[in-house]
Amino acid sequence: MWPIALALFGVLAAACSDDPPVTTPPVPASTSKEGPALTTHLYALESESVRLESFTRGGGAIENMGDDLLVVTPKGRFALVFHDGILEYLDGNVPLNETSLEEHEDYDNPAFDPMAFRVADILLKEMGEGRYELFATHHYFTGTCIRFRLSSTTILRDEEGVTVLPDWRTIFDAEPCLRLPWFDGPEGGGKMLMDGADHLLTIIGDHGVDGWRARPTFDPAVHLGKLLRIDIETGEAEVLAIGFRNSQGLVRDSDGNLWAPDHGPQGGDELNLLEPGGNYGWPQVSYGIKYGGEVPPTMEEEEVGRHDGFLRPALAWVPAPAVSAIAVNDERHFPLWKDDLLVASLKDQSFFRVRRHGTDVQYFERIEVGYRIRDLTFMPDGRIALLSDGGWVHFLSRSPRYCDEESRNRRDVYSVNCESAAALPWLDLPGAGDSGTDTEAGAQLFGVQCSACHDLNAERHGVGPHLVGVIGRRAGEVGGYRFSAAFDSLDVVWTRDSITQFLTDPEQFAPGTSMSSPGIGEVEARAIADYLDSLNHLSRLVRDSQPAIRSDWDVYLIENTLVYVKEPCARADTEATFFLHLYPVDVKDLPDRRKKHGFDNLDFDFYWFGGVFDGGCTATVSLPEYDIARIGTGQYVPVDGGYNHFWEGEIRLDE
């Protein structure tokens, strides 16, 4: 009776915990598209997607390859998604021997699910000079049974392209070899992680030999359900921990801790903090129950839904979302997610941002994406890359343009300051970007790389100092911000060149700085520096002349007159030119000569209005009558041939 029951359980488990087969035919061409925006608790995200061929089964994986993304399909085909979204398929496949499997007498047996035969994961080890060692965990048909195998080959990358060499080497075969038709590939696990230069870690799933009848995960002669440390040269495997069901993710955090999600049965998915020698209890204990709602045969009724006697998970889910991959947050690009783990799911079509403090889990946030996430990783540019079942790669990035009408001109945790993100980046005044770079590209890079920590409003600092007028400013000298000791002895005036050098390698430029490397090259750093310089052309802040008026000020609206108040007072007859952002505005009655700049692709216009200081501390500007919802103001104050102290603010005329 056991073989029949085991086959039935394998079919039921595949239906409940993993992927139904996708029957659409392969599509060789790639398609890119923008997806819906996502609003999380701390960030707004934008999404873009790249279409692969349609997957006919679950599985596959993604791995960073420089600035690009290497993809393997469940059937072992390779593709490269370039950072700009271009897709290129590569020659070469992971060796599965599926052709021989299709000729086996049990291939059409209803108890055998060929869709569960697949590639589990890939891992790249960079060897230098465009050479990589590629590892793959996958199923392999030997002719009589199915092995869970670790193989490797070499990938070469040069100006001609990417080549996957055909000489695959078998490093390790898991025991036992699994007989047909009783094979449950969806519970294969197989995620990998390098452990030093000569070893890798992987957790092999129980393959549906779930312990209701036996306990292979406890058996020292069996590799199923165990965390292994494998010598990549000799294939020798050391068992580090036991008691797992189906771990499809494995990651090491900044403190060196190992974390792995694990599929429970019906309910009871887990996030485990891995300890050497640990036993995580499957199948003896679980927060889940047997599919169909029965009490597992290995448990007493009073033990169901508990985890006594074994290492408990750091977090468990009931009901189970079908957890899959895991990644550690990239703090350079998502600083408000510092130390968080991202855990993907299949059935729940979401990922979970898990807030931890050291090894203690504080809470999680569910972020729904609307597709089954098979794998995820962080790209070097800060985007989150997701591989979904069915054949899509999705890229999530922080939205630098998230600004609704209620959040304008205030700091918004979901993104960056609205004017910093939406207004200033596209200004292109004469003299901006002198080095010939694209200031719009620099603005976008600033939004992704810098805006989380540095503001473009002189009235406030972020994690780092504000960057209004940074060109020409001495490093470490800006009011109201406490710099690290690295800047105490740094005798540098910020220029485009020095900012480029600093962004390219902060530690080399200012040893001991608390700023981590943004992970960008010289070209990107130069674009950001030029963008900051273009803002300097806008604000005309004094560089080498005497510092100008910079203490307390305010702007008031009295009826239809703007009044600028400044202390210490400016001398009489000093001109004060007010720079206005109008959103949205009906300009039919506004004189054309007042309109200085206008942009059809933005939701505001720019105007100048002039006034003079009255010999005291105020200057006034009378505004024409027009229908306006909001107004942003700024002013230029001439000082000895230069200009100083640009400000943006907001005044609501309807209040």
In this prediction the pTM is 0.63
Lowest mean pLDDT among 87-96, 208-217, 452-461: 208-217
Same domain, 533 and 605: no
Give the DSSP H or E segment for 231: strand 226-231
Residue 255: pLDDT over 70: yes
Same domain, 192 and 282: yes
Q: What is the CATH number of the domain that holds 610?
A: 2.60.40
Domain final residue, candidates 512, 539, 566 = 539
Q: What angle do CA 45, 527, 157 make, to 5 degrees?
A: 80
Same domain, 505 and 573: no
Same domain, 533 and 570: no
Same domain, 340 and 461: no
The answer to whether residue 409 sits within a structural domain is no
- Which among 137-146, 576-585, 621-630 has the top mean pLDDT? 137-146
The answer to whether residue 309 sits within a structural domain is no
pLDDT in tens, 110-121: 888 888 899 999
Same domain, 261 and 221: yes
For 401, the token pair is 């343009």
In angstroms, the CA 552 to CA 548 distance is: 12
Residue 533: pLDDT over 80: no
pLDDT in tens, 366-376: 999 999 999 99
Give the DSSP H or E segment for 99: helix 98-102
Q: Are strands 237-242 and 226-231 parallel, antiparallel or unpaired?
A: antiparallel
Residue among 184, 190, 99, 194 at smallest CA distance from 150: 190
The answer to whether residue 414 sits within a structural domain is no
Average pLDDT over residues 148-175: 96
In angstroms, the CA 131 to CA 155 distance is: 6
Residue among 339, 527, 393, 394 at smallest CA distance from 449: 527
**What was the pLDDT predicted at 271?**
98
Domain span at 625: 553-651
Same domain, 72 and 107: yes
Q: What is the CATH number of the domain that holds 337?
A: 2.120.10.30
Q: What angle do CA 545, 547, 553 make, to 5 degrees?
A: 140
Domain final residue, candidates 513, 539, 565 = 539
The answer to whether residue 545 sits within a structural domain is no
In angstroms, the CA 494 to CA 474 distance is: 6
Are 242 and 280 a contacting pair, CB within 8 Å?
yes
Same domain, 456 and 583: no
**What was the pLDDT predicted at 411?**
38
CA atoms within 13 A on the CB side of 356: 24
| Portion of the chain with pLDDT greater than 70, in percent | 68
| Higher local confidence (pLDDT), 547 or 200 | 200
Q: What is the CATH number of the domain that holds 492?
A: 1.10.760.10
Same domain, 202 and 274: yes
The answer to whether residue 548 sits within a structural domain is no
Residues 6 or more apart from 619 whose CB is under 8 A from it? 563, 564, 566, 570, 574, 576, 611, 612, 613, 635
In angstroms, the CA 43 to CA 384 distance is: 13
Same domain, 467 and 596: no
Are 310 and 218 a contacting pair, CB within 8 Å?
no
Per-residue confidence band for 550, with pLDDT thresholds at 50, 70 and 90: very low
**What was the pLDDT predicted at 576?**
53
Average pLDDT over residues 265-269: 90
The answer to whether residue 394 sits within a structural domain is yes
Domain final residue, candidates 398, 418, 446 = 398
Average pLDDT over residues 412-417: 41
The answer to whether residue 371 sits within a structural domain is yes
Same domain, 37 and 120: yes
Q: How many domains does the chain have?
A: 3
Query: What φ, ψ does residue 504 adopt, rounded to 5°?
Result: -70, -40
Residue 457: pLDDT over 80: no
**What was the pLDDT predicted at 177?**
92
Treating both helix axes as pointing N-terminal to C-terminal, what angle do 439-449 and 522-539 enclose, rounded to 10 degrees? Answer: 110
Are 634 and 647 a contacting pair, CB within 8 Å?
yes
Same domain, 474 and 610: no
Lowest mean pLDDT among 251-255, 392-396, 401-405, 621-625: 401-405
CA distances from 90 to 10, 28, 154, 163, 593 (A): 34, 12, 13, 7, 59
The answer to whether residue 98 sits within a structural domain is yes
In angstroms, the CA 82 to CA 100 distance is: 34
